[in-house]
Amino acid sequence: AAAEDEGAPRELPDAWGAGACPECAACKYECFLSCVECVAADGSTVTLCPMHALGEGCLDELGADSAVLAAAALPADRKRVRVYRPLPWLRGLLRRVSERAAAANAWVADAQRLLDTSLSAAPA
């Protein structure tokens, strides 16, 4: 059973035990690697992905609401970057993905070899 489990996917724990990452208020996608918390003068916080925290016209195309536009326009000292997946976590993910890719490529090569062998051995 242990040999069978070796190829099973292993989950990487989230950084800081954070669980689910916040959603960007502009695009509604999960801020998987990091987010920017934009804190207004009244203390309200809007979470944006790093790209949308910069603003630069893309928010108009998304039809972002006024709170998102105001958050993106805040100065840098009102924005705080939160990193959810630090470099060691990403390196671990890359290592595991590379291992899985190598195993998948080996499986495809073996399957191709078996197919080639069975086709060449088939009666004409």
Please give the Cα distance from 84 to 72 (Å, whole number).
20
Reported as a single tens digit per residue, the pLDDT across 65-77 is 889 999 999 999 9
Q: In the chain, at which residue ranges do the beta strands (DSSP E only) sit?
A: 34-39, 45-48, 79-83
| Average pLDDT value for residue range 100-119 | 90
Q: What average pLDDT score do residues 8-22 get? A: 56
* Predicted confidence band of residue 2 (pLDDT cuts 50, 70, 90): very low
**For residue 39, which of 82, 81, 83, 74 has the smallest C-alpha distance?**
74
Instruction: Give residue-wise pLDDT tens across range 27-50.
Output: 999 888 889 999 999 999 999 999
Extents of the domains making up the chain:
18-83, 86-121
**3-class SS of residue 53:** helix
> pLDDT band for position 7 (50/70/90)?
very low
